[in-house]
């Protein structure tokens, strides 16, 4: 029932950035080589995510917007291995229950036509033929139009956009082989080129000064931490916010105090007070507790001390290697 769906939707869709996150994850899961995110008024007016992924048949599309339907294997406890990222088979359904969502798609192989379907606050329209190149575009407008209590919790556009920007930035950094672009109110904020090199992605999202200050991190510690790799900025290239510490555990973006402290400790007192470096750091690791809410991007490590030492050591070595 629509009301239940709208209440449940709060678990997945809290703000425009959550819509962006779910849609971008679907695009990445669909094997896209380009993902273009366009938002208006911080995403509160409009979110569009277009990809060149494998697309859907008309039948797939009708199924995709229904509850608990997923074409993907795995479940929420699968943080370690699986490539699929999203909340299990709920995202399109819940987004469609709290907005006006139009999906236009065309499968990569088979079929010469595409399809369009609109879900308006839980009411699914008729499947229509629609032309487009292979891939999928999802447009979301009128977010929370029928749930004023939720709409009221949205912050001003600049704040909502900051959340969107942060999310898309992390996907761009974590997927350097995918060309990811972000456009806000008609202005291109960044566009990565999808070369596969994290440094190129960092150049696109953070600019030349930061990209040139990045030192490569590469370590293969013993035990449960298999690999720590990525880039950290030299101690002079810092900002007054920790938002530039992008950390990924087994390919998934996480915000984690243990990792953050470990990165900062790796600088061994070289950072000015209340300044944060740039980091794009991937930790490949066993013993990650995935028993957390998928929206929160949190993890727990079984061997927390070991992870901390591994990351701190890897960052320290990277800074030493570059002669600092
Ligand atoms: P989940 O991602 O957990 O499977 P979603 O509700 O996000 O659930 O998506 C439902 C299904 O719709 C997916 O399993 C996939 O088959 C299909 N789908 C969604 N977005 C895309 C896309 N961008 N390209 C291709 N298929 C998609
Ligand atoms: Mg999904």
Q: What is the ipTM of this complex?
A: 0.99
> Distance from the CA of 72 to the center of ligand 1, in angstroms?
8
Name the residue with the closest Cα to ligand 1, atom 27. Answer: 26
Ligand 2 centroid – CA 17 distance (Å): 14
* DSSP 8-state assignment for residue 24: H
**Spatial CA neighbour of 281 closest among 237, 319, 250, 324:** 250
- Ligand 1 atom index nearest CA of 138: 23
CA of 29 relative to ligand 1 center, distance in Å: 8
pLDDT at 83: 36
Q: Write out pLDDT tens, residues 144-162.
A: 999 898 899 999 999 999 9
Residues whose CB falls within 8 Å of the CB of residue 177, separated by 6 or more in sequence, listed in order: 33, 194, 195, 196
Residue-level pLDDT at 85: 42
Task: Give nearest CA residue, ligand 1 atom 7.
Answer: 91
Residue 79 is predicted with a pLDDT of: 40
Let me know: does 157 contact 42? Beta carbons within 8 Å: yes
Distance CA(47)–CA(138), nearest Å, equals 8
Q: What angle do CA 294, 296, 302 make, to 5 degrees?
A: 80
pLDDT of residue 113: 84
Q: 251: which DSSP letter?
A: T
Question: Which residue, by CA, sits nearest to atom 23 of ligand 1?
Answer: 27
Residues of the chain with pLDDT under 70: 1-11, 68-70, 73-88, 110-112, 290-296, 322-324
Q: How far apart, in whole angstroms, are the C-alpha atoms of residue 100 and residue 52?
A: 22
Please state the atom number of ligand 1 nearest to the C-alpha of residue 93: 6
The helix (run of H) or strand (run of E) holding residue 20 is helix 16-29
- Strand, coil or helix: 278: coil
> Given the CA of residue 89, which atom of ligand 1 is nearest to it?
8
Q: Ligand 1: which residues within 6 Å by Cβ?
A: 22, 26-27, 30, 51, 53-56, 64, 69-72, 86-93, 136
Q: What is the whole-number distance in angstroms between the Cα of residue 71 and the centre of ligand 1?
A: 7
User: How far away, in angstroms, is 294 Cα from ligand 2 center?
Assistant: 11
Which of 71, 111, 136 is the pocket-test mutation for ligand 1 (most atoms within 8 Å of CB)? 71
């Amino acid at each position: 029932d629509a009301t239940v769906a709208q209440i449940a939707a709060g678990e997945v869709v809290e703000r425009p950035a959550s819509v962006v996150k779910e849609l971008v994850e679907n695009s990445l899961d669909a094997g896209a080589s380009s993902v273009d995110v366009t938002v208006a008024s911080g995403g509160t007016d409009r979110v569009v995510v277009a990809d060149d992924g494998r697309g859907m048949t008309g039948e797939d599309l009708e199924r995709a917007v229904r509850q608990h339907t997923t074409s993907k294997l795995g479940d929420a406890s699968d943080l370690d291995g699986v490539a699929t990222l999203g909340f299990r088979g709920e995202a399109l359904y819940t987004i469609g229950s709290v907005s006006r969502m139009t999906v236009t798609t065309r499968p990569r192989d088979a079929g010469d036509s595409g399809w369009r379907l609109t879900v308006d606050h839980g009411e699914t329209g008729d499947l229509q033929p629609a032309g487009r190149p292979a891939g999928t575009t999802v447009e979301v407008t009128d977010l929370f139009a029928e749930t004023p209590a939720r709409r009221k919790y949205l912050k001003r556009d600049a704040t909502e956009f900051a959340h969107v920007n942060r999310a898309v930035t992390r996907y761009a950094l974590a997927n350097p082989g995918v060309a990811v672009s972000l456009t806000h109110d008609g202005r291109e904020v960044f566009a990565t080129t999808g070369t596969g090199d994290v440094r190129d992605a960092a150049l696109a999202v953070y600019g030349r000064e930061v990209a040139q200050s990045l030192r490569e991190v590469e370590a293969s510690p013993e035990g449960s931490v298999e690999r720590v790799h990525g880039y950290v900025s030299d101690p002079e290239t810092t900002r007054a916010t920790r938002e530039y510490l992008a950390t990924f555990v087994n390919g998934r973006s996480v915000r984690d105090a243990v990792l953050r402290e470990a990165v900062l400790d790796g600088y061994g007192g070289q950072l000015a007070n209340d300044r944060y470096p740039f980091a794009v750091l991937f930790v490949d690791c066993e013993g990650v507790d995935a028993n957390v809410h998928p929206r929160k991007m949190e993890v727990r490590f079984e061997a927390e001390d070991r992870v901390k030492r591994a990351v701190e050591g890897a960052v320290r070595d990277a800074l030493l290697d570059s002669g600092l």
